[in-house]
Structure 1
């Protein structure tokens, strides 16, 4: 949610379509194609390159700025300025097929997509819930659209940034930045789309948060992941000195959480924070990462600076234990499989055995890691590096292939499968 975050909820998208051994190519914002290197990537990947994010597919890519991906990577919603309006359309990442383009009145940028992939929240400025602090403002225009055009259009009094939709599409979770004209902190609220009114969330026991007890956050929202069943959004926060959760504000406890996982239930509209033990939150936020297991019952939080990994039960919303990992430096990345947790930082990749929580092996790669993604069948671990993506045998670390991707910033996740 801050400038230091790597996120998986939404992406400005550079999409790469196609299969086989065709040359890796791209389009700049003006639509010109750029030559590249012939390489075939086994799985389609969502990636970020200079100026946008995208999908690698086989050996081709198509660059689309000003766009956002659905949570499952199956589609991309793109926008383009069109005089006084904005052209808006959907692209199927598995086939490259596009919907009919519609024109939205005014200038808009996409910010969040519903978990079912049908609705998009757009605002008039570039700041979104995963990157950056918005400029000061008293009023926030918001537009909700689908492939048919505008569904809702309204203005919120204050400084708001869309974050996610409720599961029933009747509400929009937003970050309200305070104070509106000079924001330095924010709180999560939900806008009723029928009344266009923002209000507080509920507690974990489904009672409304009382006035004055809404959490206000100042630290770094490092990363967010969506549960496999799409019902819950988990966000890792670090550097929250003297932070007081809603439960602390209600009970009167002082509170002093340096790091926690903010749990947002998209179905029942409640939030709960899972505090992380020391030393989480003490070291740079970039050295922290979050991953969710494929069954959705376990979250893993790691701090490579201290070499600490925590396991969280998503049912109990509690830390079940911690383990030691080799200390590292640099930006951390993580990917969880059914039996192993993969951690990347610097030029090292570690594999932690989950059955024997703490037993680890590892290997080195050519350049500093910029993302880890495990293939659906578990046969490939994709490792982002400088201007390239390599894929490895997860059991041995043997490099099985490498594709040059000029301007690669980070590998985010999987794209749609044909």
Structure 2
């Protein structure tokens, strides 16, 4: 994980205040002049990452939400903005732009993670990406549990924690506990019992308690997290794990294998975790050269390392690597999306395809600029490609560009903004 840049409290609050003004002025389907006059409209609403935070692209609309987090299915966005010494908090329907009434949360908070059913949010005093950053030193972590109606619970966790996900029954909150709290250099996954407010160890895949001292601690880079279509399992890709031992190895006393990358599998209903080791050469190249995607039926998870030109297929039922195959290599950051019969891999200014039946490399095509994200439309008929300040969409079978819009400040693609159920 990369260290998070340090910002003074005054600088942070000034930035929040400025961004909050933009959010309050622009979060109800705000349109840019270019967007309202453009003849080309985006076929599907998209959630994107922009340099000022989260963005929603909807037809010709451009909506910027600086301090926000989206639900895992892309249907809802929860946003916050400073309101005097407190925080305004509200919910946005991503597909339509409709907002709930704003409620006031006492103190300053930013949304960190949303429950899988989209109803409940964990907020912290500083936003930290669980796959990109490490928190500042601290020996206590305030966490606020809220919904669109306001505060539901306050927590003060002893130590340095970052909320990652809720259990599906909303009785627990998975967190990364950073150690040591005042000089964090490694972390472990724990679950906070929301009835008691106490962080506790997870259980093993066999549903046995993890003995004291056997919890695995990670030091490397969390590259990407993917939730399965049933919203019950969260997969996180980790690379560069020096001297790492999985819980199963620490319990058995085995030294563990020389593994540089694995997929951390977290069951959100049963509260167990299990790591699927990736074979050599995964994890030996740059973290951003790796990408992960899951098939629409959730049965297969694919991990790509474009630096070495390797793809691995993981069975989500067996939690094992079924097979690997070789692809053309690339030295630039990787992105992936999976359809029913093809895997799409983007790197540099090129998109490649891989047939899921046999992992044979298929046709590829160039795009106009460096790829910064790949997203398939919900019906699988369009592949969206993030590029420098633009999003294009293509025929997945031929690569033909079907349209393109300008998106100033685009950093990456988050996913489809789906209509409410």
State the TM bucket, normalised to the shorter chain.
over 0.9
Corresponding residue number in structure 1 for 2:11: none
| Offset at residue 36 of structure 1 (A) | 2.0
CA distance, structure 2, for counterparts of residue 29 and residue 119 of structure 1: 21
Q: Which runs of 4+ in 1 moved over 6 A?
A: none
In the alignment, is the contact (CA less than 8 A) between 2:54 and 2:67 conserved in 1?
Answer: no
Contact 1:2–1:222 under 8 Å retained in 2: no
RMSD of equivalent CA atoms = 1.5
Return the match for 1:360 from 359, 362, 384.
Answer: 362
Q: 2:281 aligned with 1:283, yes or no?
A: no
Contact preservation (8 Å) 1:85, 1:104? yes
Q: Secondary structure at the match of 1:42?
A: coil
* Bigger Cα displacement from structure 2, 176-185 vs 79-88: 79-88
CA contact (8 A) 2:371 2:385 kept: yes
1:16 maps to what in 2?
none
Q: Cα distance, 1:412 vs. partner?
A: 1.7
What does 1:205-224 correspond to in 2, within 5 Å? 205-224=206-225
Q: Counterparts in 2 of 1:124-273, with a 5 A limit?
A: 124-255=125-256, 256-273=258-275
Match of 2:307 among 305, 308, 314: 305
Shift of 1:132: 1.2
Cα deviation, residue 334, structure 1: 0.1
Shift of 1:34: 4.0
1:45-64 alignment runs, 5 A limit:
45-64=46-65
2:130–2:222 Cα contact (<8 Å) kept: no
SS of the equivalent of 1:43 reads coil
| Structure 2 CA distance for partners of 1:128 and 1:398, relative to 1, 3 Å | closer
TM-score, normalised with respect to structure 2: 0.92
Q: Aligned partners of 1:126 and 1:49: how far apart in 2? A: 16
Separation in 2 of the partners of 1:198 and 1:354?
40
- Relative to the length of structure 1, the TM-score reads 0.92
Q: Distance in 2 between matches of 1:174 and 1:378?
A: 33
Q: By percentage of residues, which structure has more helix?
A: 2
SS across alignment from 2:153: strand
Is this contact kept in 2: 1:258–1:282, CA < 8 A?
Answer: yes
Shift of 1:303: 0.2
Offset of 1:376 from its aligned partner? Answer: 1.5
CA-to-aligned-CA distance 1:355-386 (integer Å, 9 cap, x gap): 13223210111111010011122111110000
Distance 1:328 1:121 in 2: 38
Q: Give 1:131 shift.
A: 3.2
Q: CA deviation at 1:3?
A: 6.5
The equivalences for 1:118-129 within 5 A come to: 118-129=119-130
Q: Take 1:318 and 1:356, find their aligned partners in 2: how far apart are those partners? A: 17
User: CA deviation digits over 1:254-275, x for unaligned, max 9?
Assistant: 1232000000000000000000
**C-alpha deviations, 1:327-355, integer Å up to 9, x for none?**
11211000000000000000110010111
Q: CA deviation at 1:29?
A: 4.5
1:346 to 337, 345, 348: 348
2:25 to 17, 28, 31: 31
Partner of residue 89, structure 2: 88
Give, in whole Å, the separation in 2 of the partners of 1:329 and 1:29: 37
CA–CA distance in structure 1, aligned partners of residues 214 and 119 of structure 2: 33
Contact 2:24 2:81 in 1 (8 A): no
Structure 2 residue ranges without an equivalent (≥5): 5-20
Mean alpha-carbon deviation: is it higher for 353-362 or for 65-74? 353-362
